[in-house]
Amino acid sequence: MSNLRRITTPNGAPLQNLELPSRCDQCGNPRNKGNHRRCSQRRQALNKHKWMGRP
Ligand SMILES: [Zn+2]
């Protein structure tokens, strides 16, 4: 019996979600390409309602 298996990847790193958002959610272009300053401003504007209405 081999019940001593640890839940790790072959290289020893713990399992985790490796699906990082490499693409811009605003323009759809890769984040490491192009200028996304407007995209981040847009994202902030979209998330503004989350910060508003606080006591
Ligand atoms: Zn973008």
Which of 24, 22, 29 lies closest to 43, judged by CA?
24
Q: How confident is the model at residue 53 (pLDDT cuts 50, 70, 90)?
A: confident
Using one digit for the tens of pLDDT, what is the confidence trace for 4-52?
776 666 666 666 655 566 889 899 999 999 999 999 999 999 888 887 7
Residues, Cβ < 5 Å to ion ligand 1: 24, 26-27, 36, 39
* Six token digits for residue 1: 């019996």
CA of 29 from ligand 1 middle (Å) equals: 6
Q: What is the DSSP letter of 4?
A: -
How many angstroms separate the alpha carbon of residue 26 from the centre of ligand 1? Answer: 5
Tell me the CA–centroid distance for residue 51 and ligand 1, in Å. 22
Structure confidence at residue 18 (pLDDT): 55
